[in-house]
Amino acid sequence: MYLPVNYEKINLVAGTYTPNTLKMCDNITYDYWVRSLFQRAQSVIRIEGLPNEWDENVKDFLFWCLFKLGYVCCFNSEKFGKSFQPCTLSGYDFYYQFTDAIVTNPVLKQTFTIHKDCEILKIAPDYMGIWDIIDKYARRLSLLDPAIDMTIENSKYSNIWGARNKAGAKFLEKVVDKIQQGESAVIFDTSVLLPMDKVTKEDIVVDISQKDIKSTYLGTDLLQDFATILNEFDTEIGIPTLPYQKKERMVTDEAESKQEDATSRSKVWVDTMNGCFESINALLDTNMKAVHNYDVSRETSEEGVTADE
């Protein structure tokens, strides 16, 4: 994760899944959740005191660079004023800290010396962004989404199919494959699926019967799992939340522990950014600081709080 990789290695990592037929990222649902979770994560941290040059569009680019790439290079420019850019870090000092930042913007190509010509703004101590968190939960939610859609569709009716022998079973397996691909209605040509001389009327028995839908309906469980995953994501990025599954009243210690758990990583991000801002403010003559958007010191009553409070 921390090492640079070449194009072939990236393709190998991106194209390797278990099972190999599963492609979690190459779909619209995954893109939807990446966008949704990114905006959700962006709501956690606010940067105050930005220079006038960094308008709303520039600020959006700053957040994307920090969340996706992990860091930017901040510097003064005669042409662009107080600026920042994504960069490549190189060189090491006595404590193995980076010494140079290389900017390769089409309109600016320059190597800066850190702590002299520029300062680095990073969101985490290890120079990593938080896109791995977004990607992890976007994968889970994108896998769960079609399952919810299918269980709603399948709740309308249910079929039980039976076969008298292996040839009939193979025939029905082909039909089931189409159903598992998400097709709500399957129309097939038996001469295409299997030669007709191998499938006779006596081979297959198709019994279409209505099941007890309520006893087999998974929608409620899936929606609960969906809310649980989203709750876990909120806990990862720093949105204080209580476990909605807990119906009984929570004692004060439980509620406070959950809040601490939910804000632990975001506190590290805010502290890291503010540590960087001390040097950046001195260089750019600004007064920037990172602030947690959510109240992390919310008090609870001695009796505790309920799960829906």
**144 domain residue, yes or no:** no
Q: For residue 272, how many other CB atoms are within 10 A of its CB?
A: 19
Given a contact cutoff of 8 angstroms between Cβ atoms, the answer to whether 125 and 268 are in contact is: yes
Number of domains in the chain: 1
Q: How does pLDDT run across 158-210, given as a tens digit for each residue?
A: 566 666 667 667 777 777 776 666 555 666 655 544 454 555 555 555 554 55
C-alpha radius of gyration, the chain, whole number: 27
Most confident option among 8-22, 54-68, 202-216, 220-234: 54-68
Whether the predicted model's global pTM rises above the 0.95 cut: no
Q: Which of 11-20, 61-70, 127-136, 227-236 has the lowest mean pLDDT?
A: 11-20
From residue 287, alpha-carbon distances to 67, 115, 276, 294 in Å are 22, 17, 12, 21
**178 domain residue, yes or no:** yes
**170 domain residue, yes or no:** yes
Q: What is the pLDDT of residue 299?
A: 41
Q: How does pLDDT run across 112-156, given as a tens digit for each residue?
A: 999 999 999 999 999 999 999 999 999 989 888 877 777 776 666
From residue 34, alpha-carbon distances to 119, 123, 135, 300 in Å are 30, 19, 7, 33
**171 domain residue, yes or no:** yes
Torsion of CA 168, 173, 176, 177, to 10 degrees: -150
Strand-pair category, 98-105 with 88-92: antiparallel
Q: What is the pLDDT of residue 219?
A: 73
Q: Does residue 243 register a pLDDT over 60?
A: no
Question: The tokens of 285 are what?
Answer: 């003559």
**233 domain residue, yes or no:** no
Q: How does pLDDT run across 12-29, given as a tens digit for each residue?
A: 665 655 444 455 666 788
**166 domain residue, yes or no:** yes
Q: Which domain holds residue 187?
A: 159-209
